Chains A and B, each alone.
Chain A
Amino acid sequence: MRQDIRMKAESSGSQTMEPPSPAQPPRAESIRLRGVSHAYGELQTLDEIDLEAPADGVLGLVGPSGCGKSTLLELICGLREAGAGTIGVGGGATAAERLDRCAFMPQRDLLLPWYSAIDNAALALRNQGMGRRQARAAAAGLFERFGLSGFEASSPAELSGGMRQRVAFLRTLIAGKPVLALDEPFASLDAITRAEMQEWLAAALRTDPRTVVLVTHDVEEALYLSDRVAVLSARPARVVAELAAPVPRAADRDASVTDPAFVAVREEAMHALRGSLRSP
């Protein structure tokens, strides 16, 4: 009897029995932008952007509000086609190829209120054609690992802001794509929860390394979570500074962000930001 089941499982292929688990990460991909410009009609938003992120590296993008950070992120994800320049994600250069390789996490958590927490997290698997039960089973393991067990059946409205953000991040991670594009993931949280979530994300990326593009307006957040941080100017955005983070994703966040080396880089970044605002 047992043999039968196993035989059946093998004959139906490993894909159906073993869902793509983030425990076996996808192939790491690097990102490369060359001379990327973009405009909405007459409004020039991006001006000759050159950026690079190595495979499994975290690239932070900071800049003043409305400078085009989110547009840049959407271009990288393949949600838009750039006006000029080239964007490569791994071996993919067209928007469709980039869309295949990037998972986008929007600014607000945007959990779907008609699905439970676990069904929201498993959305990508369902979209890839997996049955509901299998998708839930695949997501359940991650719920446990990321401190969400017990909340699988909760509706999004029953979760706290930090938990909603965690579910939204899991939803992005479970898609099993090499690149995660996070658009101000913690902007809606209070200061304490935000610090907790940064620590949580740092831990998540230590265990599940991915290539990440992190858009934020919080310089400290960018420098704590990223390997490199690009400072963008006001619209049309140009890269005005690129800084290496002293200790990316340190286990002890509070100690890390008060370290003199960190403070010095943060001041440098702030200086670059202010400078970019003064001379448009």
Chain B
Amino acid sequence: MSPKGTTRWRRVLLPGLLLASLIGLWQIACSTGVIADALDLESFLVPSPAEIAQSLWENRGLLAENAWVTLQEILLGILAALVVGVGFAVLMHRWQLLKDAAYPLVVASQTIPIVVIAPILLVWFGYGMTPKVLLIALFCFFPITVNTLDGLRSVDPEAVKMMRSLNASRRQRFWRVEAPAALPNLFTGVKIAVVFAPIAAVFAEWVGSSSGLGHLIQSDTAYFQVARQFATVTVLSAMALALIGLVTVAERRVVTWR
């Protein structure tokens, strides 16, 4: 109990202390005007942590509204990537011919910078949610497919022989051996997807949208609302962290054997 408790405290406390002191330093630097002077900027362009916190509070309604839009895009995008990614991995695992044919193309498709597709998606699907969800799904599809396929293929061939000898049908082999074996890899893929998704969402909103955190950051540029931009970034980052935390907790609940 005690050593485990100690490490947990260290894991939470030490980064917390570091973050607090960095924010403190930033606050001091702002109140003395050191950063603005060094960058040769007007001081209102370099908001202090206190000003950002104030902006967070004052704009809480606006931020929540736009965060909800971006969160929906992210969740729907990841969901679409999960369904298509896992489905495709299972199909490629089941039919070697399909894998031989499609896998090189899937890998090659990753050389296309997906962001350049964003304007095309905008032309096709307009300013609504669809092009954002599609762009996020395109970002997240690859890590999920590749990791899931790796997991399915990681099964010990001896375990397959054992299952065949114990009268397992192909379906039983899949659900009792291959699918559980692939779960940890699937979670790895989802974690990568969760990190990518907010970036993809912000980019998709920049290309063309009327709401969302990315849209807010962009529109605030024109009005020099730097404090609110920082506040928006804070919300976006908190959202991404919460998603990663959620996936990690889910992984611990589901993959109990690691």
Contact = CB atoms under 8 A, between A and B. Distances in A.
A126 B176 CA distance: 10
B220 interface: no
A136 B214 CA distance: 54
A113 interface: yes
A99 B180 contact: no
Secondary structure of the B side of the interface?
A: helix
A240 interface: no
Given A114-B180, A124-B167, A157-B257, A105 B172 contact: no
Contacts of B165: 77, 79, 99, 102-104, 175, 181
Interface stretch (B32-40, B106-114, B153-161): B153-161
B257 A99 contact: no
B162 interface: yes
A128 B167 contact: yes
Contact of B164 (A99, A108, A126): A99
**Chain A at the B interface: mostly helix, strand, loop or mixed?**
mixed
A157 B165 CA distance: 24
Contacts of B256: 114, 155
Interface residues of B, number: 19
Contact of B166 (A107, A108, A175): A175
Interface in B146-188: 156, 158-159, 161-169, 172, 176-177, 180
A232 B257 CA distance: 40
Given A74-B161, A106-B158, A110-B158, A171 B176 contact: no
Given A112-B176, A114-B180, A127-B167, A104 B162 contact: yes
10 contacts: A74-B161, A104-B164, A105-B162, A108-B158, A114-B180, A114-B257, A123-B168, A123-B176, A155-B257, A171-B166
Given A79-B161, A113-B258, A127-B169, 16 more contacts: A74-B161, A99-B165, A102-B165, A104-B161, A106-B159, A110-B158, A110-B159, A112-B176, A112-B177, A123-B168, A123-B176, A127-B176, A128-B167, A155-B257, A172-B166, A175-B167
